[in-house]
Amino acid sequence: MSGVQDVTASPGKSAIVMVLAIPDYGKAKPKILDLCGKLDALVRSQLNRFPGSATGTVIAFGAEAWPRLFPDRPVPDELQPFEPIVGEKHVAPSTPGDIFIHVRSARMDVCQQLAGIISQALDGAVEPIDETHGFRNFDGRAIVGFVDGTENPTGDDTETFATIAPAKTGQADFSGGSYVFIQKYLHDIKGWEALPVEEQEKAIGRRKYDDLELPDGAKPENAHNAVTNIKAEDGSELKIVRANIPFANASRGEYGTYFLGYAGKFSTTRRMLQNMFVGDPPGNADRLLDFSKAVTGTLFFAPSPDLLADLAENG
């Protein structure tokens, strides 16, 4: 795989993420389809120039954009505007977005160059809503100091949970595609760092130094990894692939995490969010949210590489 639409790539790389609006679909569509068609070549060019950069890009489309860009295509089953989740203390807001671009690489300069090329290709077709530059933190740790992505599936399970399975006969086939949910979190880093390490560990559900999971007897019910651990009716664990990135603006005292979840079923992601913000039972909300505020929330669909090429050619 060239790195285009690779939603299973390992997290912990530098990244640039962009959320874009489409003000005029008639004007924008030709440029968007052209980008879809040449995105693979753009990524391959970077990989040829910088073979150790592990560069990849994902383009995804929002619930309002998909039917307007591709009116002759069915809409993915779970692609719809994200409905806010309101708990007793915390809110997962819903924010707009028509196109999502995720550029990641082992090198930030390569990220910057590719993001610039993509932006030039879309010049005049889109308007920026948000752009966030994330970096690989020490040992792949989140900005709050704990290793991130430990709960991600591994091996063959990665693709199983991150992408849509082949459709049954007679259904629209979106296999290989992925539902992309994004949330930008801002952390009360002063309040968090004022907590003793033992209290931080109880909030996360893991030890800070060696990343070992706390035993059940020592892990509170509202620990982050407890509330996000959900199971299917048959008792099997349901997972998503997280590609979270830390970001910061030190002069403003701004420290955050850009949550980026790829899943074959958005219903899995939503259950995790419901548990975090409302709690199961209600009131047992994620302790980490006492120090982390979600300021965005948008759902997109990332087509498979094959479908992306087909959309570019046939609309």
pLDDT in tens, 152-167: 998 989 999 999 998 7
Q: What are the Cα distances from residue 192, in Å, to 96, 126, 156, 165, 288? A: 29, 37, 36, 40, 9
Please tell me which residue, 259 or 12, carries the higher pLDDT value.
259
At 166-178, the pLDDT tens digits run 876 566 789 999 9
pLDDT at 89 over 70: yes
pTM: 0.95
At 114-132, the pLDDT tens digits run 999 999 999 999 999 999 9
Could you list the residue range(s) of the whole structural domain that residue 37 is in?
14-314
Is residue 9 domain-resident?
no
Is residue 208 domain-resident?
yes
258-261, Cβ contacts within 8 angstroms, sequence gap of 24 or more: 258/15, 258/17, 258/132, 258/134, 258/182, 258/183, 258/184, 258/185, 259/181, 259/182, 259/183, 259/184, 259/185, 259/294, 260/17, 260/102, 260/180, 260/181, 260/182, 261/180, 261/181, 261/182
224, amino acid identity? H
Is residue 8 domain-resident?
no
Mean pLDDT, the chain, rounded, equals 94
Is residue 163 domain-resident?
yes
Is residue 257 domain-resident?
yes
As beta bridge partners, residue 248 has 255
Catalytic residue check, 148: yes
Number of domains in the chain: 1
Residue 173: per-residue pLDDT: 83
Residue 151: per-residue pLDDT: 87
User: 1: pLDDT confidence band, cut at 50, 70 and 90?
Assistant: very low
Query: What mean pLDDT is predicted for residues 289-308?
Result: 97
Is residue 116 domain-resident?
yes
State the catalytic residue, choosing from 148, 156, 210, 306: 148
